[in-house]
Structure 1
């Protein structure tokens, strides 16, 4: 009896340690209710204003959350510039085409005027993604806050931790699983490809020197018109829309497209060709509410990946730079 009790106590202590080691225990709804009561409203106002001025910002917020949170932690490390020995994650080939980082600082500036050194850049990334989803026609996701900002870049770990659009489906699924997202959730999160654009750099391998036979021929000809040469300049404005029907609406048209061989990226095509994921694609293609429900759940899980707390992080004054000592 005493041994069983000891084992139970040890199990409880381990689980408690594991919970707080992940940092999720430090996140909570309305974290800034006392320190900065208008924080979430300020973020919403700024995100909405920027959306009406630059519509593609709403897509950028979602992409930024993904590219930040998949690499070790939701800690705004992706926002850091190259300076003082820090190599910016923005320089990674995995982050080609990422845009609108400067507007994160626009939101940060508004928060600093109201509540100096209070709201972290990591929370701005999460909240702007939440509000961006709504502007793109998706549901409101109740996200917790309380993240701290990283004091370092994770540039060296990006290739290992951030799945690439040319990776095998099993590898992509394994990467999402490490942050607590199952197969169904992964299929739903890739539905973010329903909105925005893809740089030609990421799709020319399906067009040149020969067209990928899994691509719809007419669609392939359209893509070659958008990306007319096999070596596009990564810095040039050479893009094509993910979804031609509803390009700025987060919906299940993405799944309908890939079922008709009109997915842009290799990973898109693999969703329908893999027996592990194809049934979820088919279900999401016929039920938009089911897709949005699973997308919301997966995005919430992603937003809570290993957040920093306490002295492990800080609240940056400027999202581009670590605070001066």
Structure 2
């Protein structure tokens, strides 16, 4: 319902302050070369096309909207928001895709990136980067899920010509990391504890595979779980000695109340001992993050504004701009020389 959407004016104000702050860094390499409406002359309908495609895909396969948020997180966390995540393994060149990393387990819907890119290529061949496509799709996906909107997102990113497969495990947090580990990884992107608690609120949508949960359920249920919730999860997830493939297919929804709404239900659940992943539940008790969990649980508008600002900040992590990288014609492959 409408109460889930924080006021648009509040979000815009918070973001304009953030963009203003970032503008100072824009002359260096902070958000260098990125600007609002980057394609206003080269491809005026670029952002509209992405939005139309994200909406169409959402209407056909609702979970795509969640996938765009996760894809942007995985792409940006590993060194740069440069669409290196989208490159597919290529035996001929020896390139190994970041999607092959264990940290990318459960990511899906990459095939639909091609549908968005094809629509952009039809309108403006070789103009809109895959890195900008990911950033815009995540923004529009958040809006489709009832999250903050509109989010002013700067564009002008260029695409990587290499995979960072070897770096993924070092950069992408694990589901059972300590709060300190997670905070230090986000700090490298200029994101503090408040932003981390907001961004992990994306776990308000989507699901978690049982392979990431069984250690908290067997042989005994983790004492951090609300007992009834632990019993429910044991019903969802087969035992730890079940065949690996069953655990990889079985899953539990992150949030049973509003499973497809990007809202503060995640933070409310943490306060009740219903954080699915260990790292989620730890946010509620760590003194550096707990105050933000409580504040977001109490105020969905505040969560929305903080999430929007953090999403923009994350999307501007070390972008390739100007003459760096390239604009890939097909997001899966480096352009032929």
Distance 1:236 1:124 in 2: 29
Of 155, 168, 193, the residue aligned with 1:158 is 168
Q: Secondary structure at the match of 2:252?
A: strand
Q: Is the contact made by 2:26 and 2:34 (CA closer than 8 Å) also made in structure 1?
A: no
Which moved further from structure 2: 89-98 or 306-315?
Answer: 306-315
Cα deviations by residue, 1:143-182 (Å, 9 ceiling, x for unpaired): 0110001000011111111111211101101110110111
Q: Secondary structure at the match of 2:208?
A: strand
**Aligned position for 1:40:** 47
Of 245, 253, 269, the residue aligned with 1:233 is 245
Distance 1:287 1:142 in 2: 22
Distance 2:215 2:84 in 1: 30
Shift of 1:276: 1.1
Shift of 1:201: 1.4
**Aligned position for 1:28:** 35
**Aligned position for 1:128:** 137
The answer for unaligned runs of 5 or more in structure 2 is: 1-22
Distance 1:87 1:265 in 2: 28
1:138 aligns with 2:150: no
Distance 1:19 1:111 in 2: 26
Aligned residues: 310
Distance 2:327 2:267 in 1: 39
Distance 1:34 1:137 in 2: 30
Shift of 1:273: 1.3
Shift of 1:310: 3.1
Distance 2:29 2:211 in 1: 36
Q: Secondary structure at the match of 2:62?
A: coil
Of 306, 310, 316, the residue aligned with 2:322 is 310
**Aligned position for 2:159:** 149
1:219 aligns with 2:229: yes
**Aligned position for 1:10:** none
Distance 1:67 1:219 in 2: 29
Of 175, 193, 197, the residue aligned with 2:185 is 175
Shift of 1:136: 0.6
Shift of 1:17: 11
Distance 2:326 2:214 in 1: 41
Distance 2:29 2:77 in 1: 14
With normalisation by structure 2, the TM-score equals 0.89
Distance 2:94 2:27 in 1: 31
Q: Is the contact made by 2:197 and 2:283 (CA closer than 8 Å) also made in structure 1?
A: yes
With normalisation by structure 1, the TM-score equals 0.92
The answer for unaligned runs of 5 or more in structure 1 is: 1-15
Shift of 1:82: 0.5
Cα deviations by residue, 1:177-215 (Å, 9 ceiling, x for unpaired): 110111111111110000011111111111122211111
Q: Secondary structure at the match of 1:240?
A: strand
**Aligned position for 2:220:** 210
